[in-house]
Amino acid sequence: MEVGRLPISASQRGKLISAGYTTLASLSSLSPSDLARDLKIPESEALEILKVASHDCRLDQPDKSNGIFTGAQTAWEMLHEEQSFPRITTSCADLDNILGGGINCKEVTEIGGVPGIGKTQLGIQLAVNVQIPVDFGGLGGKAVYIDTEGSFMVERALQIAEASVVDMSHYNELLRKELRTCQVEIQPTDILKNIFYFRICSYTEQIALINHLDKFILEHNDVKIVIIDSVTFHFRQDFEDLALRTRLLGGMALKLMNLANKYNLAVVIFNQVTTKHKEGSFQLSLALGDSWSHCCTNRVILYWNGDERNAHIDKSPSLKSASAPFSVTRKGIRNTASNHKRIKLM
Amino acid sequence: MANKLINQMGLPKSIANVFAARNITTAKEALSLTEFELMEVLDVSLADVTSAIARISEITCPPYQTALTLMEQRVQKEHMGGHLPTRLKGLDNALCGGIPFGVLTELVGPAGIGKTQLCLKLALLASLPTAYGGLGGRVIYIDVESKFSSKRMIEMGSKSFPDVFHTKGMAQEMAGRILVLQPASLSEFTKSLQQLKISLLQNQVKLLIIDSMAALISGEYGQGPARQHLLGWHISSIKSLAEFSRIPVVVTNQVRSQTRDEACQYSFQGQSREKAVEDHTGYDSHLVAALGIHWAHAVTIRLVLDSKSGKRFIKLAKSPISPPLAFPFNITSSGISLLNDDGIELTGPEINSIHCQGHSDIINFDGERFQ
């Protein structure tokens, strides 16, 4: 029943079927007025149905001009595209290393960890780093910060932004001694100005905002990162119906993925941890269950390894599973001290 | 904004009527359905549904602010840049001015370490007139375990601010601003919490203290999903209370002993760490906060009070603005005071562990009650 999958209203579908139009082919040679007469509907409505049907038909048929399917890309093209996108640095060289250079655009990255490990810190750091100008190897973009927990601290954002500006001018002095043209013009307050902060108070607002982001980013088209801190909070509280929760989360993940693709931006989602009974013992794992864990392209877990904060790549289609230490300093996310020395020596 | 009515969103009349006819009246109901489900239920075309959803989403989603306007607002509107100074110099420096407004600050520690002492001090500071560096407002003190002592508070006050307290009538005025509530049960607490929401702003309340959250929750419910669910509800209501009235909320949490099979690892960490964990359990870090990981995610600042080799420490275990510092402190007649203001920077999860050496007599008593 091909008409069953046309995006038309149920009553129209019913009329089509009862009039004997079940295949798309049977609609293809029809004029709007014929259809209007057969279904006893206004001609304008019939025209709508035919438009929808022919659109659907075209999707099914091979398009000769552009490979086999419309909208498809060859792997070779994708490789080129991937290489051309700069990545958003985390300000920690070791972490960038295992991430293949930083947080990737066009991808959804999930980051989870125990309370106090530095999730919000990393979020603020990324919101600042996305604004590093192109001259300095950054993206020069803006950030959308979606705060569901109320844990965003503007004082901390200022600290990190100040440190980032200082680092940029250092970099300037080191590498461009002869070339004085490129001054650091960006101010910490400019950085704060380019962080769009949304405070979300319920899961309905969360869904609404993600629906609305499409339009928002169209209006502010240099947004290069969307940070959600955290996706878990509201979905963890007020749900009786777990099937509904799974469905809503799935829809949300899909929309975020589309957004990442459409606007070439990075989506970073933070998740909380929970305990899980597995193989006879309790283990830590990220919250929201198994079906959610399929939703993100990359998954990074932050954990304590002895005295060090570590990041572990738990899931990624392109990166190998690896761990790297990082630390949270006054300036933001940085390499751990011991590693820092090593790099300086080299 | 989740319960906004669809018929007030300026949708085209025909569509709005269809929503009303199918009894989908709020944004929450509409957005809980997928687009195809909506098409099915409303019997309209996809284009209509998508435009309706886009409109509903646009109206429902809250407006944005840039971080800059956020900062300017806080600096301008709020006294002391949105912080309640603790008058513990080192701690205030580390926290950029004190206990921040609008978020949850948690005090964790074994019994008798000084959590209530710190709470009393904060209550005093918030009620202190602004001329003396306080907030000059009312304080709501929810005292679950009946530990509040007015006498001790006045003693603290007259020792630390003799000039204020020796002015005639000041002690009475300040103590009069502190409202102590002693709920007998969780349901009573829930009820007063709802009342609070309305009256906080009108009554110039500048600080909310809950001493202690753990006693409140563990008093009535055992472990398991029922408690988790209940806790979740309280977490979000207290958080939104703090956020929308922009006042500091201080909550205390108890400790309990860690059970053997408690998770502290991810599956990928595997065997190699097993040994290290064994060593730890033999050590003295077997105390954990009574409310678990779900709660810990919700608090913005966690201060751990503990004692090690006879010294008491106050540790900044979780804070988005400061490095992990530990300050030695003692309790004098004027309340908690730091022994030095520089603090010791701790690395690793050490900052989160709760030690209890030199306090074992008190701990045993507390431990028994919890088992």
Q: First-to-last CA distance in chain B?
A: 43
**Chain A residues whose beta carbon lies within 8 Å of the beta carbon of residue B352:** 116
Q: How many interchain CB pairs under 8 A, A with B?
A: 214
Residue B140 located in a structural domain: yes
Q: For A114-140, how does the pLDDT look when each residue is reduced to its tens digit (9 = 90+)?
A: 888 889 999 999 999 999 888 777 888
- Out of A99-108, A272-281, A337-346, B265-274, least confident range: A337-346
Q: Is the pLDDT of residue A21 over 70?
A: yes
Are B45 and A121 inside 8 Å of each other by CB? no
The first and second tokens of residue A170, run together, are 């250092």
State the nearest Cα–Cα gap between A186 and chain B, in angstroms. 14
Q: What is the mean pLDDT of chain A?
A: 82
> Which amino acid belongs to residue A195?
I
Categorize the per-residue pLDDT at B358 as very low, low, confident or very high, splitting at 50, 70 and 90.
Answer: low
Instruction: Say if residues A340 and A326 touch (Cβ distance below 8 Å).
Output: no
CA dist list (Å): A205 to A223, B1, B55, B93? 20, 7, 13, 36
Class of A79-345 per CATH? alpha beta
**Chain A residues whose beta carbon lies within 8 Å of the beta carbon of residue B6:** none
For tokens 């070339």, name the residue: A179
- To which H or E segment does residue B330 belong? strand B325-332
- Interchain contact B302–A (C-beta under 8 A): yes
Percent of chain B with pLDDT over 70: 83
CA dist A304 and A325 (Å) reads 9
Q: Which residue of B has its CA nearest to A207?
A: B31
Question: Looking at the structure, do residues B56 and B81 belong to the same domain, yes or no?
Answer: no
Q: Please name the residues in contact with B40: beta carbons below 8 A apart, sequence gap of 6 or more.
A: A10
pLDDT at B369: 36
Instruction: Say if residues A90 and A99 touch (Cβ distance below 8 Å).
Output: yes
Question: Looking at the structure, do residues B120 and B163 belong to the same domain, yes or no?
Answer: yes
Are A237 and B235 inside 8 Å of each other by CB? yes
DSSP B7-75: GGS---HHHHHHHHHTT--BHHHHHTS-HHHHHHHHT--HHHHHHHHHHHHHHHSPPPEEHHHHHHHHH
pLDDT at A29: 77
Question: Looking at the structure, do residues B169 and B101 belong to the same domain, yes or no?
Answer: yes
State the nearest Cα–Cα gap between A1 and chain B, in angstroms. 17
DSSP B43-59: T--HHHHHHHHHHHHHH
Are B71 and A192 inside 8 Å of each other by CB? yes
Question: Looking at the structure, do residues B156 and B76 belong to the same domain, yes or no?
Answer: yes
Residue B213 located in a structural domain: yes
Question: Looking at the structure, do residues B108 and B245 belong to the same domain, yes or no?
Answer: yes
Is the four-CA dihedral B108, B112, B113, B117 of positive or negative sign?
positive
Q: Please name the residues in contact with A25: beta carbons below 8 A apart, sequence gap of 6 or more.
A: none
Q: For A154-182, how does the pLDDT look when each residue is reduced to its tens digit (9 = 90+)?
A: 888 998 999 988 888 887 777 665 555 55
Which of B41, B68, B259, B279 has the most A C-beta neighbours within 10 Å, making it the best mutation to test the interface with A? B68
Q: For B203-253, how does the pLDDT look when each residue is reduced to its tens digit (9 = 90+)?
A: 788 899 998 888 877 765 555 566 666 777 788 888 888 888 888 999 998
Are B58 and A215 inside 8 Å of each other by CB? yes
Mean pLDDT, range A85-93, rounded to an integer: 86
Q: For A249-259, how does the pLDDT look when each residue is reduced to its tens digit (9 = 90+)?
A: 988 999 999 99
The first and second tokens of residue B367, run together, are 């431990």
User: Which residue range forms the structural domain that includes residue B180?
Assistant: 68-370
Q: Is the pLDDT of residue B347 over 50?
A: yes
Residue B1 located in a structural domain: no
Q: Out of B46, B298, B349, whose CB is closest to A304?
A: B349
Instruction: Say if residues A217 and A263 touch (Cβ distance below 8 Å).
Output: yes
Are A212 and B54 inside 8 Å of each other by CB? yes
For tokens 């878990």, name the residue: A232
CA dist A27 and A56 (Å) reads 11
Mean pLDDT, range B138-161, rounded to an integer: 87
Categorize the per-residue pLDDT at A62 as very low, low, confident or very high, splitting at 50, 70 and 90.
Answer: very low
Mean pLDDT, range B74-100, rounded to an integer: 82
- Interchain contact B74–A (C-beta under 8 A): yes
pLDDT at B224: 57
- Out of A3-7, B86-90, B327-331, B366-370, least confident range: B366-370
The first and second tokens of residue B39, run together, are 């098409």
Q: For B286-309, how does the pLDDT look when each residue is reduced to its tens digit (9 = 90+)?
A: 678 888 788 888 888 999 998 887
Is the pLDDT higher at B79 or at B368? B79
pLDDT at B279: 40
Question: Looking at the structure, do residues B355 and B281 belong to the same domain, yes or no?
Answer: yes
Class of A2-66 per CATH? mainly alpha
Question: Looking at the structure, do residues B48 and B161 belong to the same domain, yes or no?
Answer: no
Question: Looking at the structure, do residues B42 and B186 belong to the same domain, yes or no?
Answer: no
State the nearest Cα–Cα gap between B168 and chain A, in angstroms. 40
Instruction: Record the pTM.
Output: 0.80
Q: Is the pLDDT of residue A5 over 80?
A: no
A102: left (phi over 0), alpha (psi -120 to 50) or beta: left
Question: Looking at the structure, do residues B42 and B172 belong to the same domain, yes or no?
Answer: no
Which of A125, A153, A245 has the most B C-beta neighbours within 10 Å, making it the best mutation to test the interface with B? A153
CA dist B49 and B63 (Å) reads 23
Are B40 and A151 inside 8 Å of each other by CB? no
Provide the chain B residues 208-227 that lie in CB contact (below 8 A) with chain A: none
Question: Looking at the structure, do residues B171 and B43 belong to the same domain, yes or no?
Answer: no
Residue B325 located in a structural domain: yes
- Using a 10 angstrom Cβ sphere, with 0-12 exposed, 13-18 middle and 19 or more buried, the burial of residue A60 is exposed
Are A120 and B293 inside 8 Å of each other by CB? no
Categorize the per-residue pLDDT at A212 as very low, low, confident or very high, splitting at 50, 70 and 90.
Answer: very high
CA dist B136 and B118 (Å) reads 18
CA dist A46 and A21 (Å) reads 13
Question: Looking at the structure, do residues B128 and B242 belong to the same domain, yes or no?
Answer: yes
Q: How many domains does chain B have?
A: 2
**Chain A residues whose beta carbon lies within 8 Å of the beta carbon of residue B320:** 120-121, 124, 151, 153, 156
Are B317 and A116 inside 8 Å of each other by CB? yes
Are B267 and A285 inside 8 Å of each other by CB? yes
State the nearest Cα–Cα gap between B67 and chain A, in angstroms. 5
Over the range B304-327, which residues count as b (16 or more CB within 10 Å of their CB) and which as e?
Answer: bbbbbeeebbbbbbbbbbbbbbbb
Q: What is the mean pLDDT of chain B?
A: 79
Over the range A220-236, which residues count as b (16 or more CB within 10 Å of their CB) and which as e?
Answer: eeebbbbbbbbbbbbbb
Question: Looking at the structure, do residues B175 and B243 belong to the same domain, yes or no?
Answer: yes
Q: Is the pLDDT of residue B360 over 60?
A: no
Q: CATH no. for residue B298?
A: 3.40.50.300
Q: For A65-75, how does the pLDDT look when each residue is reduced to its tens digit (9 = 90+)?
A: 445 666 777 88
The first and second tokens of residue B115, run together, are 């959590």
Angle at alpha carbon of residue A328, lines to B338 and B83, rounded to 5°: 45
Q: What is the location of CATH 1.10.150.20 in chain A?
A: 2-66
- To which H or E segment does residue A339 belong? helix A337-345
Q: What is the ipTM for the molecules in this complex?
A: 0.78
CA dist B56 and B31 (Å) reads 8
Over the range A300-336, which residues count as b (16 or more CB within 10 Å of their CB) and which as e?
Answer: bbbbbbeebbbbbbbebeeeeeebbbbbbbeebbbbb
Are A284 and B44 inside 8 Å of each other by CB? no
Which of B1, B44, B64, B75 has the most A C-beta neighbours within 10 Å, making it the best mutation to test the interface with A? B64
State the nearest Cα–Cα gap between B183 and chain A, in angstroms. 24
Over the range B269-298, which residues count as b (16 or more CB within 10 Å of their CB) and which as e?
Answer: beeebeeeeeeeeeeebbbbbbbbbbbbbb
Is the pLDDT higher at A343 or at B332? B332
Q: What is the location of CATH 3.40.50.300 in chain A?
A: 79-345
How many residues belong to chain B?
371
